[in-house]
Amino acid sequence: MQFSFAIKGKYSIWSGTDKKHTAELEPILPQWLKAARDAARNVESEDDTPDFMQANQEKQKAPISPPDFLAGLQAQTGDDEEDEDVPSWLANITGASPKSKPAKDEISSDIRWVEMGDKDDFAQSENILAQQPSATEKQNEEDMPIWLAGLHTDTQSEKDELTDWLQDTNASNELPPLSIGAQFPNAGKENDEKEDVVEPSTLDDTPDWLKQMSDEAQEKSEQDTSSQPTSPLLADGDIPAWFEQLSNTSAEPIEAQTPRDAPELSIDTPNWLEQLPDTSAEIVEDQTLKDSPELSGDTPNWLNTLNASEENSKPESAEVAEPSIPTSEAFSFTDADIPEWLKSPTEPQDKKQDTTPAWLKSEDQSSEFELPAWLASEDTVRLHQPQAEEPVSDSLLSDLPDWLKSAAPETTIFDTPTDEAEVNLEETQMETKSSVPEAESVDPYASMPAFVSDSQNSESIESLFTEMPDWLSRADEQPADLAITTNEDILPSNDLPSWVEAMRPNNSGLGQISSAASDQSAESHGALAGLQGVLPAGVGFNPTSKPKVYSLKLNADDEQQRQAGILEDILAAETSPVPIASFGMLRSSRGLRWTLAFLMLAVVLSTTILNIKFFSLPQGLPSEINSAIQVMQSIPENAPVLVVFDYEPSRASEMEVVASPVFDQLLLLKHPRLTFISTNETGAMLAERFIAGPLAGHSYQNGVTYSNLGYLPGGQLGVRAFAQNPSLIAPFDINLQPVWGSAPLQDVSLFSHFATLILITDNADAARVWIEQTQGLRGNLPFIIISSAQSTPLIQPYYASGQVNGIVSGLYGGALFEQYNAGRPGTARNYWDAYTVGMLLATVLVGIGGLWNVIVGLRERGEGN
Amino acid sequence: MAISLDLITGVLSFLFTLMILSYLIGDNPVFRLAVYMFIGITSGYIASIIWWQVLAPRLLMPLLPALLSGSIVEKVIAITPLLGAVFILMKLSPRLSKIASIAMAFLVGAGAAVIIAGALIGTIIPQISATINFFDPQLAAQRNINVIEVLGNGAIILVGVVTSLGYFHFSARQQANGTVRRFFLIEIIAFIGKIFIGTTLGVIFAGVYATALTAFIERISSLINFFGNF
């Protein structure tokens, strides 16, 4: 981008398509120019084509040059009908009226790609440029360095400075080099491109008189043709005959080009001037300048400077300007490979109207040819077609001859004070070129106009392209996919320094990669420039250096290491599992257990065996027992009594001991009709056992004096349902016989028809169920609960609330009730001594245990304090 | 020589008693054998009871007469329990377990209603009324209890109820030193309630011990009687 205006300056020397009336300059032509023109007329028919095409030219006569000093150029065009191949200014010089130039196609910009040699940048910005050229131009201007901006301003607005600029050329070339290589990594390449841009302009614009100057050199070059690489321009036939002569005069072998010599040249000569010594170093020196001593007085200073500088850089100039097309490739063209316009330049009738090479016109026309690799690369020849514009330099340089105009703007590049940087770029360029051996490969970019792709974005640059020769702007018509371009063709490895060449990837493995079929991008920077598919494509990814390696070793002092150790300890403590504090499992002592068992067994066994009965029965009646006795006494004779057996068989011994005196008294005094029911599955069996065991003496019979309804399923629901409708819920006894019409249940159809409800249970919940579910259905039905000792505390509140009329609980209650039953049946009394001893023993043991715990607790507290 | 049933019963009772008492030396196969036999016998007995006293007389036997000659209501009443039982059996299949939810929903809903209603009517309201009525002299007079005793009993019961409920009041505030403590008055009430609760548990434990002691004495007496008969 920073070379955009430099390119403009370069292209501004091409007069464009406007008519140039050079006839009026004829009187003022210097004598040496006229002499040179005459000499050129004599040699124009000899070598208009590269040497490698001379074989074809032998079949075709060289065109006769028109009788003016640009006759050679006109002869190259072949015919008046081929004016479009010739720049308009050249056409005007010859005096022929140029035909109107047709509008250029967009693809003509492709050729600029070729010239630029930087397709990647175009690939990214091509579409943007085509759509928004103005914005891109602004961006280019913003990105442009200051020194280039100044250059741009000077070029456009101060045409009068041209003369001064020319005069200052020597001074600017002597500026010390600037080390801006780091800021402009592509400087070397761009610098090469500058040279390449100048080269065609120099070659094409050079009049025949310059060819005349190179006669001697031509003769020498003809001898060395076989060993000299030919530039792609020569190979393509785009170069006029005079340039061919000039190029052939490069007598210095390429082997003599050394990097050591390159800096000297780049320092002494600007880029645009390098083209002149590149192409005709010895010609200009030996023939033109020396043979025409008056030239120094007539020519501008820059030519004098040229003369002076080339004396110091003869070998290098020739070497630098030497195209890097290998001889092998140059001579590898067959007849079919040679463009038609080179084969038969004098047969314009075969072409339609112009002499544009067939390979540059269209794909269809050129598909039959095998183009050189550097032009066939599809990836590198795409640029949008700019619109034809009026060249700016025309108006600025109207005072000068065209040939001077063509040369003058190049000096504007060096008119800026930043030539140091360019000098360095030239050094890089020269280093690169100096490493070119007799290459087997071709560096197409070396022979192309070198300018930065970004510069093409600007509108002004586009206008410059309109000033290109038509033959060159027609290059966009070439089919890009005709020829196969290899990476080796794009970037000859020999252009690189030896050390870069060593790093360069081996291209042999890539083979002949068709650029048309490949969508891989070519590298535009660095040693891989021009190679395709070497690196994976990534937008905006341009690794510039090797990743920096950071050391993992820390420099920590003792304090930091100590703190790090503390941190590690903290982290380790956080991650380590913390045991959960748990209480030791309380386990019974086997000795204590055996001791207690022995004590209990001994006490109970002894008291039972001895049956001493030294403990008297309890005296006094608790209110609940007294209430139960009153209820029993209030039961009418032969009244139906509902007895619920809801206790477990394991509690049968206790429950039978408690219930026996109650039922013994009841049966003895009242002879009630008993109805047994149970919410426990074993209740029916326990009822039968109770009747058959403790009450066996009363001779109660099932179905006569009692009925056993058996098991009442449904829990609370069953109790509630039974309380609501007993006959429906429990219609059968345990023998599956209807009981509600039997003697025990005579005159009983409702729950409230029973005279008394007696519940024998060892479970407080069972008592609560019967209390709750029969609460509203009992009416005045007395409710007595005979319970075990363990459930009495929970049943006692119901007695306190009046929901239960009496409670007889445990062996204590049985013993009391038994006293009011004349001591019958006496079971409670038999158990009472053992029971009492056992309760006393338990009390003593509980007291001892409590005292032991107090002592242990006090001892632990004392130890703790 | 005929072996009397009492002899067989006495021998088996003696053996099983020793087997159970063998737990005194720890868990042993003899103890397990006795336990397994009790569980097995009990299960078999319960199953027979369920069949003979529940399924046969209450589900199957009414079904046939109702289907043959019963009215629609009788048929519905006879079939509905069977249908509910079949639905509950569907829980054995994971795919058909949702069908059982119908019967289960009915049972749970009806049971909950019965339990809640019974608790309200039979426990909560009567117990609240009883706690209040402890201070009613007329009721005390009806029960032949003098006023002082009524007031004393009522006061104890009132204090016991209030303090026991206060013990389960766990709302607390964070103190300045970071500890969490209940309000001071609540602490006092909770302490008194703890005494009442401890006393109740002690009484229950005494009742359990008395029950167990009675059973132990009965077993010892039966053994003595068994050997005394010989």
Contact B224 A608 (CB under 8 A): yes
The share of chain A scoring above pLDDT 70, in percent, equals 39
> What is the distance between the alpha carbons of residues A254 and A434, in angstroms, rounded to a whole number?
8
Comparing alpha-carbon positions, the chain B residue that sits nearest to A775 is B122
Q: Say yes or no: A697 contacts chain B, CB-CB below 8 A.
A: no
**Tokens in use for A832?**
């009472």
Query: How far A596 CA sits from the closest chain B CA (Å)?
Result: 10
pLDDT at residue B135, rounded to an integer: 81
Cα(B90)–Cα(B100) distance, integer angstroms = 6
Quick one: chain A helix, strand, coil %, rounded to 5?
55, 5, 40
- Tokens coding B52: 């003979």
**Beta strand segments in A550-671, E:** 640-646
Contacts of B133 in chain A (CB under 8 A): 801
Bridging pattern class, strands A640-646 and A756-761 = parallel
Q: What is the mean pLDDT of residues A38-59?
A: 53
Record: contact B49-A684, CB cut-off 8 A? yes
Indicate if the pLDDT at residue A522 is higher than 80.
no
The stretch A230-252 carries a mean pLDDT of 49
What's the CA gap between A68 and A78, in Å, rounded?
15
What is the pLDDT, as a whole number, of residue A701? 85
Contacts of B143 in chain A (CB under 8 A): 623
- The pLDDT of residue A256: 41
How close B93 comes to chain A (CA, Å)?
24
Q: How far apart are the C-alpha atoms of A51 and A57, rounded to whole Å?
A: 9
Q: How far is A847 from chain B (nearest CA, A)?
A: 13
Q: What is the per-residue pLDDT for A107?
A: 41
Mutate which of B53, B145, B161, B203 to disrupt the A interface (most A C-beta within 10 Å)? B53
pLDDT of B196 = 93
Residues B17-64 pLDDT 10s: 889 888 888 889 999 999 999 999 989 998 998 888 888 888 888 888
A790 with B121: Cβ contact below 8 A: no
Asked if the model's pLDDT at residue B13 lies above 60, the reply is: yes
Q: What are the chain B neighbours of A801 within 8 Å (beta carbons)? A: 126-127, 129-130, 133
Q: Which domains does chain A have, with CATH numbers?
A: 4-516 (no CATH), 608-839 (3.40.50.720)
Contact status of A785 with chain B (Cβ, < 8 Å): no
Those residues with Cβ within 8 angstroms of residue A482's Cβ, 6 or more apart along the chain or in another chain = A359, A363, A366, A367, A369, A370, A371, A376, A516
How far is Cα A625 from Cα A815, in angstroms, rounded to an integer?
11
Task: From chain A, pick out residues whose CB is under 8 angstroms from the CB of B202.
Answer: none
Beta-carbon contacts of B199 under 8 Å, excluding residues fewer than 6 positions away, are none
Query: Is the pLDDT confidence value at A84 over 70?
Result: no
Tokens at B37, concatenated? 């036999």
pLDDT bucket at A642, cuts 50 / 70 / 90: very high
CA distance B31 to B23: 6
Does position A638 have pLDDT exceeding 70, yes or no? Answer: yes
Q: Band of the pLDDT at A300, cuts 50, 70, 90?
A: low
Confidence of residue A864 (pLDDT cuts 50, 70, 90): confident
Buried b (16+ CB within 10 A) or exposed e, B51-70: ebbbeebbeeebbeebeeeb
Record the tokens describing residue A633, joined without a space. Answer: 């006494």
A183: confidence class by pLDDT, cuts 50, 70, 90: very low
> How confident is the model over A587-631, as pLDDT tens digits?
767 788 888 888 888 888 888 888 777 888 888 888 888 888 888
The 8-class DSSP code of residue A107 comes to: G
Q: How confident is the model at residue A242 (pLDDT cuts 50, 70, 90)?
A: low
Q: pLDDT grade, residue A770 (50/70/90)?
A: very high
- For residue A352, count CB atoms less than 10 angstroms from its CB and return exposed for 0-12, middle for 13-18, buried for 19 or more: exposed
pLDDT of res. A187: 41
How much is the pLDDT for B136?
A: 79
Predicted pLDDT of residue A95 = 47
Cα angle, residue A861 at apex, residues A856 and A863 outer, rounded to 5°: 95
pLDDT tens per residue, range B84-122: 888 888 888 888 888 888 888 988 998 999 999 999 988
In this prediction, residues A48-75 reach a mean pLDDT of 46
pLDDT tens-digit map of B168-206: 988 888 888 878 888 888 889 999 999 999 998 998 889
pLDDT score for B191: 92
Say if the Cβ atoms of A842 and B209 lie within 8 Å: yes
Question: Looking at beta carbons, which residues of chain A come within 8 Å of B126?
Answer: 775, 798, 801-803
Per residue, what are the HEC states of A223-272? HHHHHCCCCHHHHHCCCCHHHHHHHHCCCCCHHHCCCCCHHHHHHHCCHH
Helix ranges (DSSP H) in B168-183:
none
Q: Which positions 396-435 of A are in contact with B (Cβ < 8 Å)? A: none
- Whether A790 sits inside 8 A of B46 (CB atoms) is no
A715, A801, A811 ranked by CB distance to B127: nearest: A801
More confident residue, A137 or B148: B148
CA distance B79 to chain A (A): 16
Contacts of A773 in chain B (CB under 8 A): 114, 118, 122
Q: Which of A519-523, A549-553, B216-220 has the highest mean pLDDT?
A: B216-220
pLDDT, residue A265, reads: 42
Asked whether the beta carbons of residue A609 and residue B224 sit closer than 8 angstroms, the reply is yes
Identify the H or E element spanning B181.
strand B180-181
ipTM value for the complex? 0.88
| Chain B partners within 8 Å of A684 (Cβ) | 49, 53
Domain ranges of chain B: 134-230
The partner residue sitting opposite A800, judged by closest CB among B57, B110, B130, is B130
Shortest Cα distance from B163 to chain A (angstroms)? 17
Name which of A471, A514, A466, A469 is nearest A489 in CA terms.
A514
User: Please, what is the Cα angle at A344 between A338 and A349, to 5 degrees?
Assistant: 130
Candidate from A594, A713, A717 with C-beta closest to B114: A717
CB–CB contacts below 8 A, A to B: 152
Binning pLDDT at 50, 70 and 90, where does residue A491 land? low
| Chain B: closest CA distance from residue A795 (Å) | 11
pLDDT of residue A362: 46
Q: How far is A673 from chain B (nearest CA, A)?
A: 22
- Other beta carbons within 10 angstroms of residue A832's beta carbon come to 23
What's the first-to-final CA gap in chain A, in angstroms? 91
The verdict on a CB contact (< 8 Å) between A793 and B204 is yes
- Looking at CA atoms only, how far is residue B115 from chain A in angstroms? 7
* pLDDT, tens digit (0-9, with 9 covering 90-100), for A5-46: 434 434 444 444 444 556 666 666 667 777 777 766 665 544
Report residue A302's pLDDT band, with 50, 70 and 90 as the boundaries.
low
Report yes or no: A804 at the B interface, CB cutoff 8 Å: no
Range with top average pLDDT, A37-51, A94-108, A568-582? A568-582
The residue assigned the tokens 């207690």 is A596
Quick check: A626 contacting B, CB < 8 Å?
no
